[in-house]
Chain A
Amino acid sequence: MSSGIGVRPRTAAAPTRPVKKRVVQRTTGQRVKSTIGYVILCLIALAFISPLIYMVATSLKPAAETFTTPPTLWGSAIVWQNYVDAFTYLPFARFLVNGLFVAIAGTAINMAVAVLSGYAFSRLRWRGRNTVFVLFLATLMIPQDVLVIPMYVMMQGFGWVDTFQALIIPWAFTALGAFLLRQFFLTVPQELDDAARVDGAGTVRTFFLVMLPLARPTLAVLAVFSFITYWNSFLWPLIVVNDVNAHGTIPLGLQQFFGQQGSQWNLVMAASVISMVPTVILLILLQRHLVKGIVTSGLGGR
């Protein structure tokens, strides 16, 4: 089973794959056919992305022109003011800062604990290691929806309802990171540990000076998954945040904004664009790492 899911896709994600040059010359007919196919593919892609294009276009329209028949893509004027208004009707800057703070803090904790446990599960020997690891994997099966209610009761007990720590801490320990990091550390040759040991480094020095630098690419993948998950998270903030203006993150703010400005579609779209920018930038910058992480683990941000 491991061969099917883990290994095969991973080889596919290798950055460069020599594409064999076609020896046989293609006929004109084939070339026309493939060009038509390519045009159709481009049209499908365009249709697919059109809701997002429409979103950007609407976010720049004057309020009176958001619903017109026949539909138009661009309004009579480009209204950048919509973005300013989106930031003033509701404390959208606040939601952005909150969202960034929660996502970065949660991601940092998640990376720290996962790199340590991933190392412990792969390179250290200790009593109960395999049992604990199987338990880690088992927790990946549990849907978040089953956890939110007891989690809320727990937050009541801690006095954490409507706080930032309630948004950050409970989801900072998901097992995905330990799994990703363990898979990575298993690929590091044992000779590196041995060499460090011969040089007199103990477990801690070996970890920090040899292993941690090597794990940076895998940590980057984990960081992106974790950040996106926190940034997009909706159900839990909806439950645990009471004062949206103080502790709201982007999706929560957007939902409230939508409730209040439901008729002001140009502003709602401006707010939506703002909410999408950070993750789209991450996707474009780190596409190769992300693809690799997804085909290795099959999950992340799902």
Chain B
Amino acid sequence: MTTTSVAPPTPAAPAAATAISERKQDRDGDGQGRRSWWGFAFAGPHTIGLALFTVVPIVASLVISFNNWPLLGAHTFVGFGNYAQLLADPIFRTVILNTFLFTILYVPLNLIVSLGLAAWLTPKIRHRHIFRVLFFIPTVTPIVANVVVWRMLYQPGGAIDASVQTVFGFHAPNFLADANWAMIAVVLMSVWQGFGYNMLIFSAALDSVPENLVEASELDGAGAWTTFWRIKFPLISPSVFFATMMTLITSFQVFVQPFILTKGGPGSSTLTLVQFIYNQGFQYQQLGLASAGAWVLFIIILGITAVQFIGQKKWVHYE
């Protein structure tokens, strides 16, 4: 569940918009139904649950981050003390850099692979639903299991090393213990396990590109490459925007892959922000510091989302 609870701000916007337009309709009074208490009864359980288990914790999280709050025992108010401590901590700086490095490597790779395969799997491809399901499998299997399998592949003497030895006669690098390779190993594993979502989204979007546009472009003598970038890509750009944003957000929350592959090592070369939060909170039992780290993550995510929304005007085409 490491990367589940984020959801795209994108559907939020249109839904909010429709909500507002509906309100206008209501005011016009077309007479469909009257206000009643049933609404409260029906929405009540979900609203109370969400308030208790999401709204209260998010506020509490901010409060905790302003306190020295050990796992057990009394807490004291320290203002911005935790944030100051984080910014002064060289490990925290490494963690931020690692998390950005992961994102910079992971997001483009994920998008290239998923977009490439989605473009390849046109409806003309035989049995394409089998390919789709196949590429989607690792996104539904427990991420812990996926990572454990890759741990065995990366192991010295494991499948990759043994294959390299057989073919080339020398050892493959010790991927998980070599500071130069560990992050790359984590990224490759993550792409393998994660690109299926974006591939499905792109594939569905490409299916709905009107065929006459594609045929017109081909009649004009455009090759497949030109047709893709000039015709199809602009038409699916809203989906690409949406997928890019989701992938960015989830990549900042990467946890299980480095946690099980390398435990953040060697040294702290694959220590990411969420593992730092986990370690602070439940190894060193400093919930205040951990909450401050979590808020740094939240602010980064909000910032990236805002930048994306501003930047989208340049390349995203809505009908």
Contact = CB atoms under 8 A, between A and B. Distances in A.
Interface of A: 1-6, 8-9, 11-13, 17, 19-20, 37-38, 41, 44-45, 48-49, 51-52, 54-55, 58, 67-71, 112-114, 116-117, 119-121, 123-127, 129-130, 132-154, 169-176, 178-179, 182, 190, 193, 203-204, 207, 228-236, 238-239, 250-251, 254-255, 258, 265, 268-269, 272, 275-276, 279-280, 282-284, 287, 291, 294-295, 297-299, 301-302
A67 B161 CA distance: 10
A8 B205 contact: yes
A129 to B, nearest CB: 6
B45 interface: yes
Interface residues of B, number: 129
Nearest to A147: B57
Contacts of B166: 69-71
B96 interface: no
B101 to A, nearest CB: 19
B36 A203 contact: yes
6 smallest CB-CB distances across A and B, nearest first, come from A126-B39, A4-B238, A2-B14, A173-B49, A140-B7, A233-B1
Contacts, number: 381
A251 B145 contact: yes
A172 B204 CA distance: 29
Interface of B: 1-20, 22-23, 26, 32-40, 42-43, 45-47, 49-50, 52-58, 60-61, 64, 69, 117, 120-121, 123-126, 129, 131-145, 148-153, 155, 157-159, 161-163, 165-166, 192, 197, 200-201, 204-208, 211, 237-239, 241-243, 246, 249-250, 253, 255-256, 260, 274, 277-278, 281-282, 287, 290-291, 294-295, 297-298, 301-302, 305, 316, 318-319
A198 B36 CA distance: 18
A295 B242 CA distance: 11
Interface of B is mostly: helix
Contact of B239 (A5, A127, A141, A269): A5
Contacts of A52: 137-138, 149
